[in-house]
C-alpha cells in the first residue's frame, strides 16, 4: 500500500480541523493496515503503543469481567478512533479489542505521536483535548453497558461486576 499522507488524514473525522502542517507531521507516524475477522488487535493490560482510525469494518471492544469473561462494551466502525491508552500513563490497554468484521484502518505509532506532540505543544494540546473527550465518551458508554449487564444478571452474579 502507499504511504499515508496529510491529504489522507484530512478525510478522517477525528482529525477534522487540524492544521495541514499537523496532518503532514502526523502522517509520518502512520501506516495503512488491515485485520482479518477475529483477529485480536490489542489485549487488556498489554503495553499500548498504537492507535487506529477505522476506515472500513467493525471492531468490538471488550472488558474482562469476573465470572463472565470478556464482555463487549462497544463496537466501532468507519470514522471511529480505536485506542487512547497510548497517550496516558502507564501506556497499557484498559480494554481489549478484536476485528468483528474485516477491518481497514490507519495505524499510528503512539510513541512517535507523543514525541511529535512534545515538539509542537500546540498540536499536542489539540490532540490531547480530542483524546480526553474521547476517553470521557468511552467511559460513559462503559458505565452504561455495565449497568445494563448488571440488570440482566441474577442478583448473586451482579456483585461480580
Q: What is the pLDDT of residue 69?
A: 82
d(CA 67, CA 64) in angstroms, rounded, equals 9
pTM for the model stands at: 0.86
DSSP letter assigned to residue 18: -
pLDDT at position 155: 53
What integer pLDDT is reported at residue 87 of this predicted model? Answer: 93
Residue 105 · residue 36 · CB < 8 Å: no
Q: What is the pLDDT of residue 50?
A: 97
Q: What pLDDT digit, counting tens, does each position of 129-152 carry?
A: 999 999 888 788 777 777 876 777
Domains of the chain: 32-154 (2.60.120.10)
For the chain, strand residue ranges (E) read 30-35, 40-42, 50-56, 59-65, 69-76, 81-82, 96-99, 103-109
Measured CA angle at 122 (ends 19, 107), to 5 deg: 65
Share of the chain above pLDDT 70, in %: 93
Grid cell at residue 30: 502512520
Burial of 122 per CB tally in 10 Å (0-12, 13-18, 19+):
exposed
Amino acid at each position: 500500500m502507499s504511504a499515508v499522507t496529510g491529504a489522507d488524514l484530512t478525510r478522517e473525522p477525528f482529525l477534522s480541523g487540524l492544521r495541514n502542517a499537523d496532518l503532514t507531521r502526523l502522517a509520518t507516524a502512520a501506516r495503512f493496515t488491515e485485520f482479518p475477522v477475529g483477529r485480536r488487535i490489542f489485549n487488556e493490560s498489554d503495553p499500548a503503543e498504537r492507535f487506529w482510525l477505522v476506515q472500513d469494518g467493525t471492531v468490538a471492544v471488550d472488558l474482562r469481567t469476573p465470572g463472565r469473561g470478556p464482555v463487549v462494551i462497544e463496537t466501532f466502525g468507519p470514522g471511529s478512533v480505536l485506542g487512547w491508552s497510548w497517550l496516558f500513563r502507564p501506556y497499557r490497554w484498559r480494554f481489549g479489542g478484536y476485528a468483528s468484521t474485516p477491518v481497514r484502518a490507519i495505524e499510528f505509532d503512539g510513541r512517535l505521536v507523543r514525541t511529535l506532540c512534545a515538539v509542537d505543544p500546540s498540536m499536542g494540546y489539540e490532540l490531547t483535548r480530542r483524546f480526553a473527550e474521547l476517553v470521557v465518551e468511552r467511559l460513559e458508554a462503559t458505565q452504561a453497558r455495565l449497568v445494563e449487564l448488571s440488570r440482566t444478571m441474577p442478583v448473586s452474579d451482579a456483585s461480580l461486576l
